[in-house]
Amino acid sequence: MKRHLAASAAALLLTACLSACSSSSPAITNDKPKAPASHAVAASSQPAKPAAKKLPTTQARKKAAAVLEAEDQDFRNFLAKGEDVTGTPDFTAWYQKAIVGLDMKQTAFDKADAYFTADNEPTKLLEQWRSNNEEANAKITQYAMDGTSPDAPDATTRKDAADARAALAKADKDAEKIANGS
């Protein structure tokens, strides 16, 4: 019994000591000592002043648009590959990729969005692009489903492909507007 109490008392004492030591002396903890605050650090910790809405830089707009246009082109290339393999044994592999969606993570949107701040983001245009790009994705998925028909390729798949291309054309116009700042 004494041994158990002594061990418990030692554990409590050790816990109390560690707690007291870590809160009063940063040299004993595993934390790195903090560097003296610089002017830049001190300024960034102050509340942000409301900034005037500024236009995005030309470079940021063009880079963001290039990312979005590349995504649209990837969709076009993927659709063209599907059109080439429809009605062949290679269609199954293409179908499996198309049916799950082409950009589930929205990586192009996120990359383009990262070029902007909350103050200069062309939110409406980015959302329009995303909507049109998602519509193209849905039409490509519809193409994949219709492409399983024994008669495919047929008028239905051709319409699906045309609808996908039309949505991508809208998305490209959205990207152009982003690039031009309009």
How do residues 144-155 score in pLDDT, each as one tens digit?
999 999 999 999
- 30 vs 98, residue with greater confidence: 98
What is the torsional sign of CA 43, 48, 53, 55? positive
Q: Cα(128)–Cα(14) distance, rounded to whole angstroms?
A: 61
- 121 vs 48, residue with greater confidence: 121
Model confidence pTM above 0.75: no
Q: What pLDDT does 102 receive?
A: 73
- 161 vs 115, residue with greater confidence: 161
Q: What pLDDT does 26 receive?
A: 43
- 30 vs 87, residue with greater confidence: 87
H helices within the chain, ranges in order? 2-24, 39-44, 58-85, 91-99, 107-113, 123-146, 155-180
Cβ(75)–Cβ(168) under 8 Å? yes
Q: Cα(42)–Cα(174) distance, rounded to whole angstroms?
A: 40
Give the pLDDT band (50/70/90) at residue 5: very low
Query: What percent of the chain shows pLDDT beyond 70?
Result: 68
pLDDT tens-digit profile of 70-89?
Answer: 999 999 999 999 999 999 99
Q: What pLDDT does 34 receive?
A: 40
pLDDT tens-digit profile of 156-165?
Answer: 999 999 999 9
